[in-house]
Structure 1
């Protein structure tokens, strides 16, 4: 993501220069809160939250793989964080310090800091006394176009301990149903949303297909196979699929990804595999079969145009190897399919996005 931003010569204060108007909609009689997300170059989807009293505003990535909320502290020593908003806990009358430190390692970076509690707002949703992290040192995050991360996975995925924000919202009665959902726009900055407390049917068409989780621990489901032109190309004996709103691309095991890229006819250049843009319309769809239902990704969906106008394939090797064959279905997949995360029934819903 940093490389892409550098290629596009995107300034660090991109979000401040390209402000967007916040809007909140609740469907009549449904208690659904719809919160806007901004699509930044099809790389990441971010939304505004506030922390503290009076509120301090942050741009955060809403992430279904992690379970923690964190933002930078004003005492953060990473030198390149000047472009990020940093939380000043000294200015919040509702802040409470927790005398405990934390360390989080992601696939693309790490951070460490200290813990606190404060009032957190996602639009008109309010979580009182929410535990969150204040980073003091970060690596690999400095140039990313958001301030922090808001995790929406299960409590067992938390590095910070305590109750994650979605569970707090549910426990405090801020949402009527333990459900949230994502609609991710394609190639335009506005229109993306995360909704809490229910599902707005205007964001998808056809049937919402429910898939049970492998375990009520992560947003991970069983996938039957991955195929192209009716021939299985990966996940031959079934595998696992992780729905990840915080990942830009689709990721899988190295050998299977390389085989898929070879079948597509893509050629490596640096860390990406490219295809002639004029050939995109002739490429086959890739079908992901989940719970007996095919979810095809047309080539126009899994190819991405870079800053030079060249087209690369939005599939890459998973940087984290796992004992079982696991595919991460990131934004390349989730732009095509509206996704619902049902904590009450431990299942994921998928439908064709409008």
Structure 2
């Protein structure tokens, strides 16, 4: 019965989140939190999650990656970037190390090592025989702000194993093979293994993208970009990349957007365009919109501007190819739910962010703006009522069980009394 109740609570949308820690920001100590445990932003370029490997439960900070099929963990003999932790050899009976080594690409570099199956713990979940790359060497990954990579791609690892979320589902740990991301500049950020209503402003107002081809990345086709009065039709692929700190696109398109931004501003060019500004002037920067599969997604200035010391760093970068890559600023705008079964991603406006009156709302394919004016108060009330009803339901279940037990023992007592009466008659 308790197992049923626990399963019911999970499927009802209770948050299942991960605690993050960053050796780069917190000197390898746990990040304290009064609310749900969070993943941690590292140097504004990565998000990491705490994962435990093996019977000894060794801790690793793994960078979240939507475009990696392999979770990677450094071995004890690793000749690699400045990692904080390494997996020591043990006598774990569940460990299964394959013969031979191979390379796994990541960004401009790669990991080299062997395939390993071992126990993997993430949050409160214990995943058996999870396959990952135990790497002993890496190249050109000096900037990786973690011990390794936590793979969140839509494809399985190999012909004989699946990624950890599919394994969680097959082992009965989660009701469906889903995960979701809530990233925020002003509050905690979360990785969850469900779709949580408390992070959704309006469940009826969402946009869903579908993968058209099997890929190791969450990649879709974009058809249009726009900002200010400028509109351009495009035929480009767009990648979702939580492991990227900026928005990237073809050099020509990005240059035009940055030129518009720098007009009448004191700006300097570097890796990023940086302009003199103050917090109140951030809203004067133009919003950027990209259309994907007929859905228009807007990235507001408050989410692509990094403000510090009266300087506004514009997190847009040009590329030499025709691809677009939507990094962390995009995820600041949208709470994103990834379904590994249907290969779809559903986007909702981030409900915990303050409303911005200057922001346009997501528009439907017909170009009509949706009304997202509903406040957070109603959502919170709905959430509270949901949990209250859940508690009432649990109480009713226990009350019914108590009544059944009472009736059982009462009938048993009456039967015993009848038997005593029969004996007395004899």
Q: Is the 8 A contact 1:23 1:36 kept in 2?
A: no
Cα distance in structure 1, aligned partners of 2:167 and 2:122: 12
Instruction: Name 1:39's counterpart in structure 2.
Output: 41
- Which protein, 1 or 2, shows the higher relative CO under an 8 Å CA cutoff with sep ≥ 6? 1
Instruction: Name 2:31's counterpart in structure 1.
Output: 20
Query: TM-score, with normalisation over the residues of structure 1?
Result: 0.82
Deviations 1:148-198 (A, max 9, x none): 111111336x4897322122222222221121110012145xx211111x2
Richer in strand (by share): 1
Cα distance in structure 2, aligned partners of 1:199 and 1:102: 36
State the aligned residue count.
322
Pick closer, same or farther for the CA change 1:160–1:59 going to 2, 3 Å. farther
Richer in helix (by share): 2
Matching residue within 288, 302, 305 for 1:303: 305
Pick closer, same or farther for the CA change 1:107–1:225 going to 2, 3 Å. same
> Deviation of residue 143 (structure 1)?
5.0
Cα distance in structure 2, aligned partners of 1:160 and 1:12: 34
> Deviation of residue 273 (structure 1)?
1.4
> Where does 1:199-218 land on structure 2 (aligned, <5 Å)?
199-206=195-202, 207-217=205-215, 218=217
Matching residue within 248, 251, 255 for 1:251: 248
> Deviation of residue 13 (structure 1)?
5.0
Matching residue within 331, 342, 345 for 1:345: 342
Larger radius of gyration: 2
Instruction: Name 1:169's counterpart in structure 2.
Output: 168
Cα distance in structure 2, aligned partners of 1:143 and 1:247: 12
Deviations 1:100-157 (A, max 9, x none): 312122223222122211011111222211111112112333453311111111336x
Gaps of 5+ in 2: 1-21, 352-426
Instruction: Name 2:333's counterpart in structure 1.
Output: 336
> Deviation of residue 16 (structure 1)?
3.3
Cα distance in structure 1, aligned partners of 2:221 and 2:107: 22
Is residue 186 of structure 1 aligned with residue 168 of structure 2?
no
Q: Which consecutive aligned stretches of 4+ in structure 1 deviate over 6 angstroms post-superposition?
A: 22-25
Pick closer, same or farther for the CA change 1:194–1:239 going to 2, 3 Å. same
Gaps of 5+ in 1: 1-10, 26-34
Instruction: Name 1:101's counterpart in structure 2.
Output: 101
Instruction: Name 1:29's counterpart in structure 2.
Output: none
SS in structure 2 of the partner of residue 170 of structure 1: helix
Q: Is the 8 A contact 1:71 1:134 kept in 2?
A: yes
Query: TM-score, with normalisation over the residues of structure 2?
Result: 0.69
Cα distance in structure 2, aligned partners of 1:250 and 1:183: 17
> Where does 1:211-290 land on structure 2 (aligned, <5 Å)?
211-217=209-215, 218-233=217-232, 236-265=233-262, 267-278=267-278, 279-290=281-292
Cα distance in structure 2, aligned partners of 1:24 and 1:119: 28
Instruction: Name 2:57's counterpart in structure 1.
Output: 55
Instruction: Name the Cα RMSD after superposition.
Output: 2.6
SS in structure 1 of the partner of residue 191 of structure 2: strand
